[in-house]
Chain A
Amino acid sequence: MTPVLRLLARRLGISLIVLVGVSMLIFGIARVIPGDPARIALGPNATAEQVDALRESLHLNEAIPVQYGYFVKDLLRGDLGTSLYTNRPVTQDIAQFLPATLELVLFAGILMVGIGLPLGIWSARYRGRWPDHVIRLVSLLGVSAPSFVWAVILMLLFAFFLPIFPIAGRISDIYEIERVTGFLLIDTLLAGNLAAFRDAFWHIVLPAFALAVSGIGQAARLTRANMVETYDKPYIEMAQAYGFRARRIARKYAFKPSLIPSLTIIGLDFAAMLGNAFLVEAVFAWPGLSRYGVAVILRKDLNAIIGTVLIISATFLIVNLIVDLLIAFLNPRIRYSQRGSS
């Protein structure tokens, strides 16, 4: 087995354990917080018999470990139960709302990496000169406010006072797009509707940017810090003594060794955007998982709460896994850590 496969196997194992842990935790917490889900679902006018029948069908009268057993049994069949809020299978609800959130987060992630890393490289290359000062100031500004604050500021500035971008939603009502992936930027292209694509793109820019601002700042600062350190390394002095072009050193020979230590944190920032997306979605009325999540928590809709938390945890773990693999791929020391097995 190559070191990378071994790493992958170990990571998958750990992820599975984490998921089991998270599911137990959230399962327990959801059940001990006050309020009777059956009563909330049926409303104040339902009779005690009706409530009790629902409790019985949800196994709510059993001990919590027994309930968990039922949950796992269903989960293994891909069944997360039925939402008391929407009266549909939770998996179906998630399939409907998750793509909007993922699209937003992925778009923000691309902005974070696509803007943050070049800013960091630029800053380090011109360290101590004006581009560096400007970038450092801007990235400090970026990290100094949480994303929902940015969401409000950006919305006021660029959708309200200067109506450049739409103020809310994912796409204008006039477009009817057939749902294939649930990612509107992809589905509009699949439908061959460029006007709709442009409209969807215009809608996602502000919320994604608001979500990405602090990540951009963080990525720029981190990249700069690591690159400044790298610039003092003998191998960069050697590259300079050999007359490699400054731009090539910045983008290749200093960047790659600096990226490896930054990646873990950039990955965590990316995953953190999953959480921040809830607030940004609220500001921009983005029809993602957040509205659903908030609604089901308020209604103590047990199956939906657990389903939502699990899917977010799983996404989080997948992101971490990808980052770890990327690091292993970039860092030859990890790739060749096992002698004679390459």
Chain B
Amino acid sequence: MRDVLRIEDLVLKFRGYTGVTEVLHGISLNIRAGERVALVGESGSGKSVTARIVLGQLQELRSAQVQGGLYFEEQDLNRLSRRQWHALRGTHMSMIFQDPTSSLNPVFTIGVQFTEVLRRRDPKLSKEAAAKRAGELLNSVSIHDHARVLNAYPFQLSGGMNQRVAIAMALANHPSLLIADEPGTALDVTVQAQTLHLMHDLVERTGTAVLFISHNLGVVREFADRIYVIYRGRIVEQGPTQAVFENPRHAYTRALMAAVPRITGGGVPEIQDMDGAFFDPLEVHGEDRP
């Protein structure tokens, strides 16, 4: 099956006052069409920067140096102009963030923001047509009082409601890749689980590939087809979810699984002892990547 996204030997460095720091040391991963792939690792391991590189956002930062192959839907992203890359955002690739309420603009209604998103694909879309389309999309995330929600400001809706809105927006333009960076971690556990189920069903139905970023292994196990474990800017283990969970081979993966996530759901596993074995080479499970 063809790859929606392929990252090859990605290196990221930041120039700072104290010199250059390398944050990603050559990571490679691929996501096939319609596949749900998780990127798991502790805080600061380089998950979000990877997402921002795929969107082409980090490259616009002058302090960032990015090297490595990036292929999206068979095109070499590095050969696209900035404008062409920009055009992919919000249309062919979209994103869901950690806290739905703070990722929606507080002084514009949901309707205004939804219209803006829909116009990424269809710049001439009228207000009425956008409202109608937004209504259909809200239906798909089980929101039925469209008019009220579209006229509301984010602070007038619950976190779970905003998360549904965010999911509907993310899938509005039929992207082939959805990047979900710890989606709903800011919500309470049951609401987070509900909205994740919803997202799971929707991406399955629409065949959208997902790069799912998380540090919650429990959630990852339910959601992802395949897993990449990232430790300090290196992929240390990769394979089908089941294989990795049943037989974790890398010392860091085992430590991650042994650590008990905190009850808060956002549960960043705290791994106390820094082990030399964490820097062992990559473990690849058999069925992954022929």
Contact = CB atoms under 8 A, between A and B. Distances in A.
A336 B95 CA distance: 30
Interface string A211-235: 0000000000000000000000111
Given A234-B97, A234-B99, A244-B90, A239 B155 contact: no
A253 B106 CA distance: 10
Interface string A238-271: 1111111000000001001100100000000000
Nearest to A260: B107
A333 interface: yes
A330 interface: yes
Contacts of A257: 105-107
Contacts of A244: 90, 116, 120
A336 B157 CA distance: 13
B103 A336 contact: no
Nearest to A243: B89
Nearest to B119: A244
Interface residues of B, number: 29
* Chain B interface helix/strand/loop/mixed: loop
A58 B118 CA distance: 73
A332 interface: yes
A243 B90 contact: yes
A70 B116 CA distance: 62
Interface string B89-126: 11100110111001111111100000011001000000
Contacts of B62: 128
Given A243-B86, A336-B153, A336-B156, A238 B104 contact: yes
B86 A238 contact: no
Contacts of A256: 107-108
B87 interface: yes
B255 interface: no
Nearest to B51: A241
Interface in A45-68: none
Contacts of A260: 107
A241 B90 contact: yes
Q: Which of B62, B99, B106, B156 has the most chain A CB atoms closer than 10 A to its own CB?
A: B106
Contacts of A253: 105, 108
Contacts of B86: 243
Interface string B50-65: 0000010100001000
A235 B90 contact: no
B88 interface: yes
B107 A332 contact: yes
Nearest to B98: A234
Contacts of B106: 235, 257, 332-333
A237 B102 CA distance: 10
B180 to A, nearest CB: 12
Given A233-B102, A332-B107, A336-B156, A241 B120 contact: no
A15 interface: no
A242 B94 contact: yes
A253 B112 CA distance: 11
Contact of A235 (B57, B103, B156): B103
A253 B117 CA distance: 13
A91 interface: no
A313 interface: no
Q: Which of A233, A239, A260 has the most chain B CB atoms closer than 10 A to its own CB?
A: A239
Given A241-B90, A257-B107, A332-B155, 9 more contacts: A238-B104, A240-B57, A241-B55, A243-B88, A244-B120, A256-B108, A333-B106, A333-B155, A336-B153
18 contacts: A235-B102, A237-B103, A238-B104, A239-B105, A240-B57, A241-B57, A241-B90, A242-B116, A243-B88, A253-B105, A253-B108, A257-B105, A330-B107, A331-B107, A332-B107, A332-B109, A332-B153, A333-B153
